[in-house]
């Protein structure tokens, strides 16, 4: 599963879920958290489990945060239905990931889901407290991506996330930088925050292009109309893919530490970058999930 475009759909809205599945998004996230009213949580959980059983191993589910009343009920209903991954919101530390991973271990074993089949994505910057410890490297092999959440973080800080020119407020931008570094250190994808206004395609395109240039692998989406621009931004051009293939040809397994390509020296750092490019290229075998 590539993680360029990830589209949210309220789990208690079956028609929206069906539209999301047919939208062409790389991943569909069935939401049990923000888009579901407290009184509808149980019904949403039932709907999500049914959707998963119809498409085992293909959908992501955003559960409610650890420490809330619905958290364990969400896990008990969702993991046996075999999601591709669990998205944990408001993750505050690596301990949250470790606890979640262990709980999934138990539920997989009890329900016959193949061991290790359920991945984990973390919304890792939604609170000020979450920024204290972002060392997720080696915590769990289930970890697939760290996701940047600007809106909840700004609410926690008591500020608006974006200035009038569209740029991020300083502490939100600092959290974004930290997430990129944490994801690279953990060897997983970094996923950018949703763009909040589906009626502003120019703003979406500008923010998405900046995210791709800064090293994000994909972006969370809140509307199907955002998918085309987001997917395009995180798909390398044919020229970039050709460059990556040539770097791999020159350095991978050749025993050489350096080579020359188009008059420029390339080395192992370029080989690492080339592999990342090929992992997101069309029709490549690389899997970002």
- What residues are designated binding site? 62, 126, 152
CA gap 202, 250 in Å, rounded: 39
The token pair that represents 85 in the structure block:
């991954």
**Who's near 164: CB < 8 A, 6+ residues apart?**
none
Distance CA 128, CA 160 (A): 14
Residues placed in the known binding site for substrate:
62, 126
Q: Mapping DSSP to helix (H, G, I), strand (E, B) and coil, where does residue 50 land?
A: helix
Annotated binding site for Mg(2+): 126, 152
How many Å apart are CA 1 and CA 288, to the nearest integer? 6
Which residue is associated with the tokens 């999301």? 20
List the one residue out of 15, 49, 12 whose CA is nearest residue 31: 12
Q: What residues contact 116, with CB distance under 8 A and at least 6 apart? A: 108, 141, 142
Whether the CB-CB separation of 64 and 70 falls below 8 Å is answered with: yes
């Amino acid at each position: 599963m590539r993680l360029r475009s990830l589209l949210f759909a309220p789990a208690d809205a079956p028609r929206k879920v069906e539209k999301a599945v047919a939208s062409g998004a790389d991943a569909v996230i069935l939401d049990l958290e923000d888009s579901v009213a407290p009184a509808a949580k149980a019904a949403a959980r039932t709907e999500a489990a049914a959707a998963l059983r119809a498409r085992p191993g293909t959908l992501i589910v955003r559960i409610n945060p650890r420490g809330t009343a619905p958290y364990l009920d969400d896990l008990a209903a969702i993991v046996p239905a075999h999601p591709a991954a669990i998205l944990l919101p408001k993750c505050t530390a690596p301990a949250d990931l470790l606890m979640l991973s262990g709980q999934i271990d138990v539920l997989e074993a009890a329900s016959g889901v193949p061991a290790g089949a359920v991945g984990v994505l973390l919304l890792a910057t939604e609170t000020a407290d979450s920024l204290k410890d972002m060392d997720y490297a080696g915590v769990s092999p289930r970890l697939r991506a760290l996701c940047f959440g600007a809106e909840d973080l700004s609410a926690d800080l008591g500020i608006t996330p974006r200035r009038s020119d569209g740029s991020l407020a300083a502490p939100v931008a600092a959290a974004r930088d930290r997430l990129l570094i944490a994801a690279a250190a953990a060897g997983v994808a970094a996923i950018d925050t949703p763009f909040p206004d589906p009626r502003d395609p120019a703003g979406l395109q500008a923010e998405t292009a900046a995210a791709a240039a800064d090293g994000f692998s994909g972006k969370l989406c809140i509307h199907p109309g955002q998918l085309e621009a987001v997917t395009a931004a995180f798909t390398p051009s044919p020229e970039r893919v050709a460059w990556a293939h040539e770097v791999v040809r020159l350095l991978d397994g050749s025993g050489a530490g350096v080579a020359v390509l188009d008059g420029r020296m390339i080395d192992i750092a370029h080989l690492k970058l080339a592999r990342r490019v090929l992992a997101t290229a069309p029709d490549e075998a690389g899997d970002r999930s």
